Structure formats: structure tokens, C-alpha cells
Structure 1
Amino acid sequence: ATFRHMEHGTHEDWAAISAEFMPFARALPDRVLAHLRLLDGDCGGFPVDRLTHSLQTATLAHRDGQDEEYVVCALLHDIGDTLGSFN
């Protein structure tokens, strides 16, 4: 794309952006799994690492009968800790 402001984007610009975006979007599951792997071994003083904690949380949500979206949110609830530890 060649525009500097959204309002100046042409059909060709958006076609180029879309072509680049689709491979990025398809790789989302791999990025999520990579972020989960970053939690492996990160105990932060707790008796289990963040990956184990996330798996435990998702398992408890599943056993409680929560829907799939809730279980996935429970699984992923700590992945931001590697990016914004104090936020």
C-alpha cells in the first residue's frame, strides 16, 4: 500500500493489504501456542509455572461445564504477563 492516511487508500492498496493479512491471520494459532510456551517454566515464586496454572484453570472451567469460549479464555488468561508484567 502507498497511502499515508486511511481515507486515501485505493482498492489496489486494500487488495495488497488483504493479501498480506491473510497469511498473518492463518498463523494466529501458532502465535497463541508460542505465547503459551513462554509460560512454561515461569513460576514467579509460585509452586507451579504459569503454563501449568493456565492448563489447570482451563481444566477447572471445562469440568465446571463452561462453554468453549470461557475455557479458551481461562487457558489464555496469563499470556499477556510476558508482555506487560506490571499492567
Structure 2
Amino acid sequence: MKDGTKEEYELLHELEKPYLAGTADRLLRELAGQADETLSGYRITRLEHGLQAATRARREGADIDWVVATLLHDIGDGLAPQNHDKFAAEIMRPFMREEVTWVVEHHGIFQMYYYAHHYGWDRELRQKYADSPYYQSCVDFCERWDQSSFDPEYRSDPLESFADEVRAVFARKAWDPAVIAAGEARGLPPAA
């Protein structure tokens, strides 16, 4: 890399643009590939969990960042099962507001509230984030959209119905301060 010229790096920059523009479609393909993938013991696939959660968000009137993030929040389960939440948040961070990516990044520890006590673990570990302006958004995300989305009877919207929203989010200018809205806590829409 150190021997590259300005002209070579300008060429690479131009050649990289179509690849960057294909991020949304690669994410959609990854989700589609989860249609047959499940963790032992679960009654739905990883894809169905994301679809259920995103459908719940959509039906409650959530904005595009919440809907797309909810669809993608567990996309890292297969490649990063020990830190899937942080993995997913890093994919979203350049394109979504800070509140939403913070919630995705921390949802794993917040979800422990529902099951940690069964293992003898501390279910209140999320309290260490109680001072965050995004704390309540994460509590609400887990309660309303994540933990309830393992229902084999729930009728979720199909993956194709989310494609335009995913493409719109990942077509944004990366790291746009107006999109990132650092420090701004909007919360989830009122519960339906």
C-alpha cells in the first residue's frame, strides 16, 4: 500500500463506488440466506425473527431507521455469536442515527433481563447504562420488538417488502451529521 500513487488510489476510489453502492443488496442476500438457519431449540429461523421484529416496528409506525435496524439487529448471529449486537451496530453506524445504533449495540445485555436469572446471572446488568439518553429506547426495543419476536404463529411481512427501506438507508451519505443526530434521543413511537 505504501507504494501506491495518487492516481492509483484515485482509480481504486472510483472502482470502489459500485461496491459500496451494493451494501444494501449484500445485506438483503445475507438475510435471505438465514431463511433455513436457526439455533437449536428455537421454533423459528433467524430470518423470521428479524422479520417479526421489523414487522412489529413497522406496524407501530416506527421510522425507517428503527424498521431497518430492527430487521438487521441480529444479522451477526452466525458470524459473531458472542458479540452479534456490536457486529450489527457497526454495519449500521455510518448510515443511521446514533440512538438506533446504540440500541442495537447494547440490546444483547438488555435482553438478559428476560433470561439471565435462569442461569444464575445478573438480569439487571443493563442498569450500568441507566444514565444513557438511549437507555429507555433500548428497554422499549427489547420489550416491544425483540423478545416478543420468536412466535411461530406471528404473520410477518416478507423480506422483499423491506428491500426499498434497506436500500434507502444504505444509500445515504455515510456519517452525515444530520442523519447521525448525535446525542438526540427520540425514543420509539408510542406503543400501539
Q: Which protein is bigger by CA-based radius of gyration?
A: 1
In the alignment, which residue of structure 2 is the partner of 1:84?
A: 80
Q: Aligned partners of 1:67, 1:9: CA distance in 2, in Å?
A: 43
Q: Where does 1:19-34 land on structure 2 (aligned, <5 Å)?
A: 19-34=14-29
In the alignment, which residue of structure 1 is the partner of 2:68?
A: 72
- 5+ residue gaps, structure 2: 84-192
Stretch deviating more after TM superposition (66-75 or 19-28):
19-28
Q: Aligned partners of 1:21, 1:29: CA distance in 2, in Å?
A: 15
Q: Where does 1:26-65 land on structure 2 (aligned, <5 Å)?
A: 26-44=21-39, 45-65=41-61
In the alignment, which residue of structure 2 is the partner of 1:11?
A: 6
**Which structure is higher in helix share?**
1
Q: Aligned partners of 1:14, 1:70: CA distance in 2, in Å?
A: 36
Q: With CA pairs under 8 Å and 6+ residues apart, which has the higher RCO, 1 or 2? A: 2
CA RMSD, Structure 1 to Structure 2 (Å): 1.7
User: 1:38 touches 1:82 (CA, 8 Å); kept in 2?
Assistant: no
Q: Aligned partners of 2:61, 2:21: CA distance in 1, in Å?
A: 29
Q: Percent identity?
A: 38
Aligned residues: 82
Deviation per CA, 1:20-79, whole angstroms, max 9, x where unpaired?
211211221221111102211222121111111100000001111110011000001111
Moved over 2 A (4+): 8-11
Stretch deviating more after TM superposition (38-47 or 57-66):
38-47
TM-score (norm 1): 0.81
